[in-house]
Amino acid sequence: MKYFLLAVLFLSNLIAEAQSQDEQFIRKIYDEALARGQSYEMLEHLCTKIGPRLSGSPGAAAAVEWSRQVMQAYGFDSVWLQPVMVPHWVRGKKEIGRIVNSKKLGLEAVNICALGGSVGTGAAGVLANVVEVKTWDELKQLGEKGVKGKIVFFNRPMDPKIIPMFSSYGGAVDQRANGASEAAKLGAIGVIVRSMGVNLEDYPHTGSLRYALNVPKIPAVAISTRHAELLSSLLKDDKELKFYFETHCETLPDAPSFNVIGELKGTQYPEEIIVVGGHLDSWDLGQGAHDDGTGCVQSIEVLRLYKAMGYKPKRTIRAVMFMNEENGLRGGVEYANQAKLKNEKHIAAMESDRGGFTPRGFTMPSDAKAKEKIRSWKPLLEPYGLADFNQEGGGADISPLAPQGVPLMGFLPDSQRYFNYHHTPEDTFDKVDKRELELGAASMAALVYLIDQYGLK
């Protein structure tokens, strides 16, 4: 009994010591990130010197080469490019949008932009009457008779009453994704979608649409929320109102591009890989700051922090800049393909693609044991404002790793401001707060450190 008690005492001392070491190590991660962090300077370069970087664009190519050089300059153990062919959509000349022959306003210019992947109207434009719907049921009710030859205006707003903004987005984005094909099935010749923003704004939000197979591809644009309200109010007593829009976008042949990968080799279990990543491509309208420049520089910063602190991870830790999240996910798919081909053993993957805002927590893997293990670390993370470990999910780029049984998780910053900027000309460097960005990088480094130390089994 005496020896048993001594053993228990010894063990609990060991555990307490480990906890206190972890506590100290995590504190040092935050110290380094906040006092000597480099994520903000990296982001400034990526946003203001390179700027927008839609898949296939020169900006995307510049971002690939820049991030390769940055990780090499930091002296990561290996840095390499993983080739992947990507869709190459270009916006072309600035779009024109006009309300025509309105009884109240006559002719009125409105702020629109083509949706990513849309066919263009060319110089002829599209001119037609407009029917407004908020639900798929309303569209169905209208039927071919009500829709044929017209422009369908999808105007269901993001619900402001929903607290997590990604859930609010989830309740409206089906219009952007599927609106064009659903309207085309009934004979529509064009589609206007209310921008995915919760506030009244003057600028439109772009984003991908999905054309269904064997349905005519009709041109689709997003309209600013303020002009969506205007159009809707005019339509109420003016059924003869027409809308004109002109877009010059087109899809070119697939283009060569790359995922960019940097790695610190594990000292004890080099074959066990932990991925931390964001996506390097962005929409073309802003600078891709919150979406997803922040996730990229935070991922690089995680490895840089370890190097700066002299930390040698037990497992191999990879920063992955995925290419083509916005309009194809080809980079994420290729990364998972290669992992499978090479028989790589990924023990965890974390994505940061919700903006560089103040940290709130992490989204959890679906695996119950992994989830429980992460939650057991809550006392170590809560002092840094990481309190939300409730939602499940990883991120788009890492999702193709799911079939290989990799536990997927996401960095979870505050979501309230994200959709002010998402996919708009406003997504620029100056919208990112230095400390919020740095705290995010440190939070990611803290959780990756714990996974590196203890695994997720």
Residue 358 as a binder of its own copies (CB under 8 A): the answer is yes
Residue 379 as a binder of its own copies (CB under 8 A): the answer is no
Point out which span in 2-10, 189-197, 280-288, 413-421 binds its own copies (CB under 8 A).
413-421
Q: Report whether 225 contacts 200 (CB < 8 A).
A: yes
Instruction: Please report, as a single letter, which amino acid is at residue 66.
Output: W
> Interaction with its own copies in 29-48: which residues (CB under 8 A)?
30-31, 34-35
Smallest gap from Cβ 433 to its own copies, in A, equals 5
Residue 417 as a binder of its own copies (CB under 8 A): the answer is yes
Nearer to its own copies, 220 or 439 (CB): 439
Smallest gap from Cβ 354 to its own copies, in A, equals 14
Q: Report whether 149 contacts 158 (CB < 8 A).
A: no
Q: Kindly determine how many residues on this chain lie close enough to bind its own copies according to the rule CB under 8 A.
A: 26
CA–CA gap between residue 156 and residue 134 (Å, rounded):
4
Grouping H, G, I as helix, E, B as strand and the rest as coil, residue 273 is strand
Nearer to its own copies, 120 or 359 (CB): 359
Question: What contacts 95, CB < 8 A, 6 or more positions away?
Answer: 112, 113, 114, 221, 245, 246, 247, 248
Point out which span in 2-10, 188-196, 236-244, 381-389 binds its own copies (CB under 8 A).
381-389
Residue 416 as a binder of its own copies (CB under 8 A): the answer is yes
> Interaction with its own copies in 129-148: which residues (CB under 8 A)?
none
DSSP 8-state symbol, 50:
I
Residue 387 as a binder of its own copies (CB under 8 A): the answer is yes
Nearer to its own copies, 116 or 356 (CB): 356
Containing H/E element for 309? Answer: helix 294-309
Point out which span in 115-123, 157-165, 291-299, 316-324 binds its own copies (CB under 8 A).
157-165
CA–CA gap between residue 38 and residue 299 (Å, rounded):
11
Q: Which of 50, 112, 113, 198 binds its own copies (CB under 8 A)?
A: 198
264, 195, 267: which is closest to 224 by C-alpha?
A: 195
> Counting every residue, how long is the chain?
457
Nearer to its own copies, 154 or 421 (CB): 421
44, 325, 351, 438: the catalytic one is 325
Grouping H, G, I as helix, E, B as strand and the rest as coil, residue 188 is coil
CA–CA gap between residue 448 and residue 276 (Å, rounded):
8
Block residue for tokens 């629109």 = 112
Q: Which of 436, 447, 448, 449 binds its own copies (CB under 8 A)?
A: 436
Catalytic residue check, 32: no
Nearer to its own copies, 198 or 448 (CB): 198
Residue 414 as a binder of its own copies (CB under 8 A): the answer is yes
Smallest gap from Cβ 33 to its own copies, in A, equals 9
- Judged on CB neighbours under 10 Å (0-12, 13-18, 19+), 5 is exposed
Residue 308 as a binder of its own copies (CB under 8 A): the answer is no
- Judged on CB neighbours under 10 Å (0-12, 13-18, 19+), 77 is middle
Point out which span in 204-212, 245-253, 261-269, 433-441 binds its own copies (CB under 8 A).
433-441
Nearer to its own copies, 170 or 256 (CB): 170
Phi, then psi, of 27 in degrees rounded to 5: -55, -40
CA–CA gap between residue 445 and residue 311 (Å, rounded):
11
Helices (H), 55-185: 58-73, 136-147, 165-170, 173-185
Tokens coding 429: 């460097």
Residue 187 as a binder of its own copies (CB under 8 A): the answer is no
Which residues of the shown chain bind its own copies in the complex (CB under 8 A)?
A: 30-31, 34-35, 160-161, 163, 165, 198-199, 358, 360, 383-385, 387-388, 414, 416-417, 420, 433-436, 439
Which residues are known catalytic residues? 325
